Chains A and B, each alone.
Chain A
Amino acid sequence: MEERDGGFRKETVDRLLRLHFRDRRTRVNGDAQLLMAEMLNIFVREAAARAARQAQAEDLEVVDIDQVEKVLPQLLLDF
């Protein structure tokens, strides 16, 4: 698997998911861990990219919380 500069490690992803399982027996297989890491990478990148686009649309140089808030609803709907 390609290792980008930053990107979720599958061990971290596994622990993140396990934190919220209702059943203690629930596990995530290795491939699914990798895939979920990708999923999270995309989620974060989308959030940042959409907020950046929003800032550009508002003619701002710095992306701040306001822009993140504006793109949040659609982001959550798309995921």
Chain B
Amino acid sequence: MEGQGSEERLLLIQRLKAAVHYTVGCLCQDVAEDKGVRLSKQAVAAISEISFRQCENFAKDLEMFARHAKRSTITTEDVKLLARRSSSLLKYITQKSEEITSSNMEQKERKKKKSSAAKGVRTEEHPEAAVTESGDSNME
């Protein structure tokens, strides 16, 4: 049983490494074009390997941060802690975090408007609700 588990894990690692390598390749190409240089395949492979390994450090730190806060779910607060070592990095990550939060709020607003339009009820007024609640106690 354990043998199978570790085989699965190795397969998963292989697939993830491949996914990372692909993404790293794209990002490196972006940067190379920006800077007007060429990156050798070996350089890209090295960056890919380093990034994959760095994920282990990130994951363990994030888990520790969440656990320290007595949570089992890692949140954006934990990620911000991860970015504390460089002030410009922290600034950037904090900014991104705010962008995510505000885009979430926008989505919520849109959903609210959609659902209240569908029900045909205005969100400001609920006179009917007050009447039914003070009425029969037998009916739920």
Instruction: Please give, as numbers and ranges, the residues of chain A lying within 8 Å of B16 by CB-CB distance.
Output: 12, 15-16, 19
Instruction: Please give, as numbers and ranges, the residues of chain B lying within 8 Å of A7 by CB-CB distance.
Output: 23, 26-27
How many of chain B's residues have a CB under 8 angstroms from any CB in A? Answer: 62
Docked CA distance A74–B34 (Å):
22
User: Out of A8, A23, A69, which one reaches B23, CB within 8 Å?
Assistant: A8
Instruction: Please give, as numbers and ranges, the residues of chain B lying within 8 Å of A44 by CB-CB distance.
Output: 23-24, 27-28, 47, 51
Docked CA distance A56–B67 (Å):
44
Contact B32 A48 (CB under 8 A): yes
Interface footprint category on A: 35 or more
Residue B69 at the chain A interface, CB threshold 8 Å = no
Docked CA distance A78–B42 (Å):
23
Instruction: Please give, as numbers and ranges, the residues of chain B lying within 8 Å of A55 by CB-CB distance.
Output: 37
A27 vs chain B, min Cβ distance (A): 5
Contact B72 A25 (CB under 8 A): yes
User: Out of A23, A36, A41, A45, which one reaches B58, CB within 8 Å?
Assistant: A36
Q: What residues make up the interface of B, taking CB atoms closer than 8 Å to A?
A: 9, 12-13, 16, 19-20, 22-32, 34-35, 37-40, 42-43, 46-47, 50-52, 54-56, 58-60, 62-63, 66-67, 72-76, 78-80, 82-83, 85-86, 89, 92-93, 96-97, 99-101, 103-104
